[in-house]
Structure 1
Amino acid sequence: MPSAIRFDHPGPPGVLRLVPVERPEPGPDEVRIEVAAAGVNNADLLERRGQYPVPPDAPPGLGLECAGTITAVGRDVTDWRPGDQVCALFAGGGYAEEALAPAAQVMTIPAGLSMVEAAALPEVACTVYSNLAMIAGLAEGQTVLVHGAGGGIGSFAIQWAAAIGARVIATAGSPAKTAAAIELGAMGAVNYREDDFVAATLGATDGRGVDAILDVVGAPYLRRNLECLGPDGHLVIIGGSVGPVTLDLGALLSRRASISATLLRARPARQKAAIVAGVTRDVLPLVAAGAIRAVVDTVFPLAEAGRAHELLESGRTIGKVVLRTRHHQPCVPSP
């Protein structure tokens, strides 16, 4: 019988427990994955605290991504077969030894990546690509401001933007994190605890502003983000504080700018399938070529998910925190 992380009520990391669960059986359009490793995300922390709107059709348990080996496929699945080594995006249930994923949200592991590295990819790759490529339309020669450079999303966004030929300005909360941002490809990095990121951004762009902003802070940064936007710029908000805030429409109109606010987890299945298809086509080849790497800070055994949450909540990490199961082993590249 497989095991999975569960909690009976919202609370601190200590509420997380590894318990036996029934073996999941795939539906017609699903695959079952023997999980080797699972990524830990901020959404998991919020859900554990009872502060995240869980989609009503989400599988039970925490976890939005994993890497492992397919062990069963639904009757309508034709693109995957048992034995395939994959990584996957799903709406829940990844903190487990076995998990179900929609077949359209499964990706082949890029050559040369370990299961741990592969588990760190789906959520950040799909978040960055859907927001910066599909919504903001970031392209070669443009400039993007990435907040939260030390996080999993920020560290991936810097690399992807640099890989497509965009210029990156990043913000982070410590010298170690700003140094990591530069190493990952940012042309400039601002310690927001010490310096004004608006002044730094405008200085780095000769006063023009940036073409896109990826924001994980939310309401407290709205006014200052607008000051950083250049003509026809696009601000994408993907998290942070969602309290009431005043929007300066004049600042938006004068720049012909736009704002989007998105959550990946609650998107309809057809949107997620389109995002995964785009990542498979446009992003994973960059990973396979070494232009983008999975930034993993720390790996914990699945049973120590509470410790993993404590570390991520501490704000000390650079990149992703990953859980490994008893099935973890080196990835064997496909022939």
Structure 2
Amino acid sequence: MATMRAVDITNGSGPATSLHIASIPKPSASSGQAIVKIKAFGLNRMDLLQREGHYPVPPQAPKTLGVEFSGTIEELSSDSKDNFKKGDEVFGLAYGGAYAEYIAVNTKMLLHKPAHLSWEEAAGVPETWITATQAMYLVGEFTRGKTVLWHAGASSVSIAGIQLSKLGGAAAIYVTASSQEKIDFCVKELGATAGFNYKTQDWSKEVLKATDGKGVDLIIDFVGQSYFQGNLDTAARDGRIVHLGAMSGTKLPAGVDIRAFVMKRVRFEGSSLRSRDPEYQGKLRDKLETYLDKFEDGTFKIYVEKVLPWENIVEAHQLMEKNSTKGKIICTID
């Protein structure tokens, strides 16, 4: 049996220090799949949760971490119908398995890598930009002229989301973040309207003040429990709250006031991307493909905070755990 190197977790789950590179069976291409030799992969917060045993991994996913990558096609299944061939430079999204030398992935989730994108940049695009697109358009039903609030403004998804909101014609784009440096980055570099430091300000009151009490039409949240009441208070009439994560937990304290659901007709909807079927993910991949010229002409920018060799995967996870980065953490495989 052919083998490859991949990042494994001692005892199946644990802290960052339990990550190490091991030898595991190399995947083979099933119907509709390609085998990609990976050049680089991106880190995502779900990787930390999965490493600790707290993420519901879809049944079709391998146990190896990682959902976004760039590389070259080494092999294609005989029934592959998409416009790919051996040797093509690609990047894409997978259900798992990207922390490895090779990955088996549905060709519906691959894109040709433009020459102007480096391997590192391309590896940081799929999960981030597809998640932001899904949250804004498919779940949040964003339309031109609406106002948007992106929590965790300097996170990779929100960095993409701010740029998408700007291109999409948002009337105003607000962010929350943990430092003035991150807020300045979101406002001065990315073009957000204003930002609020959740450590030093009551962000929900500040958003209401900035909107003359109207609130915002669309809120994208990754924080969960500690932001639940603030989100309801800040949502505009007929506002949408898109719930993508629960970094502060999932259990609400006593006394949460849910009157906004009736009084303001607020809609709260949770979503995930990884559990979706290939057809759903494929539609988002097609949408991402329409953005590629925006990366080339500079309308959209990919922010890579740190590139590390994958042998330093422990350091990469520990860096993500600090919540200090602005943009992607990428690992490369020689």
User: Does TM, scored on the shorter chain, surpass 0.5?
Assistant: yes
Task: For residue 178 of structure 1, give the secondary structure of its aligned residue in structure 2.
Answer: helix
Structure 1: give runs of 5+ residues left out of the alignment.
Answer: 327-335
> Relative to 1, partners in 2 of residues 1:45 and 1:250: Cα closer, same or farther, differing over 3 Å?
same
Instruction: For 2:118, give the aligned amino acid.
Output: S
Q: Percent identity?
A: 32
Paired with 1:121 and 1:138, the residues of 2 have a C-alpha distance of: 21
Moved over 6 A (4+): none
Matches within 5 A, 1:76-87: 76-79=79-82, 80-87=84-91
Shift of 1:126: 1.1
Do structure 1's residue 311 and structure 2's residue 331 form an aligned pair?
no
Question: Among 37, 44, 51, which residue is 1:48 paired with?
Answer: 51
Instruction: For 2:4, give the aligned amino acid.
Output: P
Task: For residue 309 of structure 1, give the secondary structure of its aligned residue in structure 2.
Answer: helix
Structure 2 residue aligned with 1:164: 168
Do structure 1's residue 29 and structure 2's residue 35 form an aligned pair?
no
> Relative to 1, partners in 2 of residues 1:101 and 1:171: Cα closer, same or farther, differing over 3 Å?
same
Instruction: For 2:111, give the aligned amino acid.
Output: M
Structure 2 residue aligned with 1:289: 297
- Which fold has the larger relative contact order, with Cα–Cα distance below 8 Å and residues 6 or more apart in sequence? 1
Preserved contact between residue 139 and residue 271 of structure 2 (Cα < 8 Å): no
Paired with 2:35 and 2:140, the residues of 1 have a C-alpha distance of: 34
Matches within 5 A, 1:132-281: 132-166=136-170, 167-182=172-187, 183-240=189-246, 241-244=249-252, 248-281=257-290
Preserved contact between residue 163 and residue 286 of structure 1 (Cα < 8 Å): no
CA deviations over 1:212-271 (Å, ceiling 9, x no partner): 001010121111101111122110010012224676442122222211101111122222
Question: Among 6, 9, 27, which residue is 1:7 paired with?
Answer: 9
Task: For residue 311 of structure 1, give the secondary structure of its aligned residue in structure 2.
Answer: helix
Shift of 1:8: 3.0
Paired with 1:285 and 1:260, the residues of 2 have a C-alpha distance of: 31
Instruction: For 1:147, give the aligned amino acid.
Output: H
Question: Among 18, 26, 42, which residue is 1:39 paired with?
Answer: 42
Do structure 1's residue 105 and structure 2's residue 114 form an aligned pair?
no
Structure 2 residue aligned with 1:330: none
Matches within 5 A, 1:111-122: 111-122=115-126
Task: For residue 136 of structure 2, give the secondary structure of its aligned residue in structure 1.
Answer: helix
Compute the TM-score of the two structures, normalised by the length of structure 1: 0.93
Paired with 2:184 and 2:29, the residues of 1 have a C-alpha distance of: 44
Task: For residue 104 of structure 2, give the secondary structure of its aligned residue in structure 1.
Answer: strand
Paired with 1:95 and 1:31, the residues of 2 have a C-alpha distance of: 16
Preserved contact between residue 32 and residue 81 of structure 2 (Cα < 8 Å): no
Compute the TM-score of the two structures, normalised by the length of structure 2: 0.93
Q: How many residues align?
A: 325
Preserved contact between residue 111 and residue 288 of structure 1 (Cα < 8 Å): no
Paired with 1:36 and 1:145, the residues of 2 have a C-alpha distance of: 35
Preserved contact between residue 62 and residue 93 of structure 1 (Cα < 8 Å): yes
Higher mean C-alpha deviation, range 143-152 or range 103-112: 103-112
Structure 1 residue aligned with 2:94: 90
Higher mean C-alpha deviation, range 178-187 or range 17-26: 17-26
Structure 2: give runs of 5+ residues left out of the alignment.
Answer: none
Paired with 2:259 and 2:311, the residues of 1 have a C-alpha distance of: 52
Paired with 1:274 and 1:77, the residues of 2 have a C-alpha distance of: 18
